[in-house]
């Protein structure tokens, strides 16, 4: 299978961490989503990464679909619970972390526009989503070791990818001060090979 992604995409990182944790072989196809001639458009009409192209040519997107699929590829070491209640709880953490990422990326893109076109209101609206999202993450994590359940699972992968993206792109925002429990979780996740080997290159 081939994973189309950029090395800086936090959604692509979710997939790469899952592939590493599940020890699944794949080929990474580095993809520039802004290239109008990108091969990606043959597989994902939305032109977004990550996109997972299976050996039979089937293309999967977006990242929650890809991660759900990857978890089913090998029968052992499930990272998404199978029973409904814990599964939905994990998927909700994924929606929360992805929502924080969506807001962070909206700000990054807005700030790339010419200064006179940037909207301070829009940036403030997105910042509010990040601030409220982090507070809920911190409150719900409390003093437990993992986001849900008693061991590492998808909820930790998505939160790790979101928090590490904030550090990567918003180094000035010190969420660790307000939410030390999120900082501790991030540090613990950063020690795993799956996270170590997917650190985004400076760009
Ligand atoms: C979001 C993917 C996305 O926005 C998912 O896979 O979970 N809900 C989707 N990817 C960005 C790259 S990045 O910022 O990680 C992307 O492909 N943007 C190109 C575009 O045209 O929006």
- pLDDT tens digits for range 44-87: 999 999 999 999 999 999 999 999 999 999 877 899 999 999 99
Question: What is residue 203's predicted lDDT score, i.e. its pLDDT?
Answer: 72
Helix (H, G, I), strand (E, B) or coil at 1: coil
pLDDT-derived band of residue 130, with 50, 70 and 90 as boundaries? very high
CA of 143 to the centre of ligand 1 (A): 32
For ligand 1, atom 15: residue with the closest CA: 9
Q: Where are the alpha helices (DSSP H) in 74-117?
A: 84-112
CA of 35 to the centre of ligand 1 (A): 14
For residue 31, give the nearest of 55, 68, 59, 58 by alpha carbon: 59
Contact 148, 93 (CB under 8 A): yes
Give per-residue pLDDT as tens, 8-29. Answer: 999 999 999 999 999 999 999 9
What distance in Å separates the CA atoms of residue 43 and residue 112, rounded to the nearest whole number?
27
- Count of C-beta atoms within a 10 Å radius of residue 153: 22
Pocket test for ligand 1, best of 8, 18, 48 (most atoms within 8 A of CB): 48
Q: 165-185: string of b/e by CB count within 10 Å (b at 16+)?
A: bbebbeeebebbeebebbbeb
What distance in Å separates the CA atoms of residue 71 and residue 199, rounded to the nearest whole number?
22
Question: What is the DSSP secondary structure assignment for residue 25, as one 8-state letter?
Answer: -
């Amino acid at each position: 299978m081939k994973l189309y992604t950029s090395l800086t995409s936090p959604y692509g990182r979710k997939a790469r961490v899952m592939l590493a944790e599940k020890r699944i072989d794949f080929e990474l196809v580095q993809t520039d989503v802004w290239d109008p001639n990108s091969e990606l458009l043959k597989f994902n009409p939305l032109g977004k990464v990550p996109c997972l192209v299976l050996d039979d040519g089937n293309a999967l997107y977006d990242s929650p679909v890809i991660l759900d699929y990857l978890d089913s590829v090998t029968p052992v070491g499930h990272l998404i619970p199978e029973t409904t209640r814990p599964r939905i709880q994990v998927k909700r953490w994924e929606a929360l972390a992805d929502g924080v990422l969506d807001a962070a990326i909206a700000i990054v893109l807005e700030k790339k526009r010419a200064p006179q076109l940037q909207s301070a209101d829009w940036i403030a609206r997105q910042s509010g989503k990040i601030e409220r999202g982090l507070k809920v993450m911190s409150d719900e994590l409390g003093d437990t070791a993992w986001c849900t359940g008693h061991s590492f699972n998808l909820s930790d992968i998505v939160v790790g990818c979101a928090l590490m993206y904030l550090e990567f792109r918003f180094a000035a925002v010190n969420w660790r001060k307000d939410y030390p429990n999120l900082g501790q979780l991030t540090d613990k996740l950063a020690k795993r090979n799956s996270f170590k080997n997917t650190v985004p290159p400076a760009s």
